[in-house]
């Protein structure tokens, strides 16, 4: 019988308040299904991967989710997979899975902003919507998706945009791909995606192999943070630069030194939307790129770090990672509009 597999990983959608007033992830997948606002139109099978707040996850944990999704899709009777996940790092795990996702069937992430024991919890509706999306023929060939508050987003480029609001996610450089309401699914655009990576080659269980750090750039910053992460063993660094990707001459000189020593440096921005642009000199984006930093386009620091982590885990060698990073970022990001 055709069915959907729900993979539970914890997060707010599964949290309850304990005797001390602290909220911790507790509910398993079967319990989440018991609270759905309507019966699903397809049989649902549940599997618990782990039960954690997503702020605790490591790259190895995220790989475990990817492996669980791939194992579920090994069964031809599975129409799609839903992953319930905490919202803190949902954008990272979803994008990681998308980098390795080669199946036409959807993997749909969802979660909640209100806990399981809240009287007005949003988790049950979000989960019901995600199951509907995973079951929808229109969701095929879209890659990994995020279904939240009635909107469907692509994994790549989607970010948590509000700390507490139910409409917590946004895709600043493209908007949603579609919508879901009362079990009905509409899709208005298709993301163009790069060739998937090989999950079997991803060795995330070796932290020193995949270590990638994010370093913030701000007015007046020095190079101590950059040097510190490199000294701690970072094999790649994402610069969270200002504006369209700018820093200062000291940072540009340190980037050149790091790149020369074999560290891969990616150039992103702290700005909510828009591409990185290598325009300014005197330590700006043009100088950073000349120093060897690779601009990440519209990919923001959280997901740029995931991409570097995946490439390091697959290839290891920084020179190969730098080449693969450039290729991945050159992949077309435009979306086919369906109207």
Active site residues: 12
- Can you tell me which residue has the tokens 């992460």? 229
The full DSSP string for 210-249 is: H-EEEEE--TT--SHHHHHHHHTT-SEEEEEEBTTTB--H
> Strands 15-17 and 23-25: what pairing?
antiparallel
The full DSSP string for 60-118 is: HHHHHHHHHHHHHHTSTTEEEEEEE--SSSHHHHHHHHHHH---SS-EEEE--SS-TT-
Quick one: 112 exposed, middle or buried, by C-beta within 10 A (0-12, 13-18, 19+)? Answer: buried
Quick one: 208 exposed, middle or buried, by C-beta within 10 A (0-12, 13-18, 19+)? Answer: exposed
Taken as a whole, the chain contains a residue count of 339
Distance (Å, rounded) from C-alpha 41 to C-alpha 136? Answer: 10
């Amino acid at each position: 019988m055709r069915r959907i597999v729900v993979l539970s990983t914890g997060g707010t959608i599964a949290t309850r308040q304990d005797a001390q007033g602290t909220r911790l992830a507790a509910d398993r997948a079967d319990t989440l299904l018991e609270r759905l606002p309507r019966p699903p139109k397809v049989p649902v099978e549940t599997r618990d991967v782990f039960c954690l707040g997503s702020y605790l996850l490591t790259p190895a944990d995220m790989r475990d989710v990817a492996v669980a999704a791939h194992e579920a899709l090994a069964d031809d009777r599975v129409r799609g997979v839903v992953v319930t996940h905490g919202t803190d790092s949902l954008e990272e795990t979803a994008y990681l899975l998308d980098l390795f996702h080669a199946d036409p069937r959807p993997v749909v992430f969802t979660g909640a902003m209100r806990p399981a024991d809240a009287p007005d919890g949003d988790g049950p509706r979000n989960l019901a919507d995600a199951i509907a999306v995973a079951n929808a023929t229109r969701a095929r060939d879209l890659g990994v998706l995020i279904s939240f508050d009635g909107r469907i987003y692509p994994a790549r480029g989607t970010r948590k945009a509000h700390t507490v609001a139910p409409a917590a996610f946004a895709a600043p450089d493209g908007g949603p791909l579609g919508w879901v309401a009362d079990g009905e699914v509409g899709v208005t655009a298709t993301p163009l995606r790069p060739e998937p990576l090989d999950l079997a080659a991803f060795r995330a269980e070796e932290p020193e192999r995949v270590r990638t750090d994010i370093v913030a750039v701000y007015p007046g910053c020095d190079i101590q943070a950059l040097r510190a992460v490199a000294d701690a063993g970072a094999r790649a660094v994402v610069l969270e630069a200002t504006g369209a990707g700018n820093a200062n001459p000291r940072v540009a000189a340190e980037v050149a030194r790091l790149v020369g020593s074999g560290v891969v440096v990616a150039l992103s921005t702290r700005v909510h939307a828009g591409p990185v642009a290598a325009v300014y000199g005197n330590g700006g984006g043009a100088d950073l790129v000349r120093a060897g930093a690779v601009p990440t386009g519209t990919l923001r620091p959280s997901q740029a770090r995931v991409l570097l982590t995946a490439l390091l885990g697959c290839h290891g060698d920084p020179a190969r990672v730098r080449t693969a990073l450039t290729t991945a970022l050159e992949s077309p990001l435009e979306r086919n509009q369906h109207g």
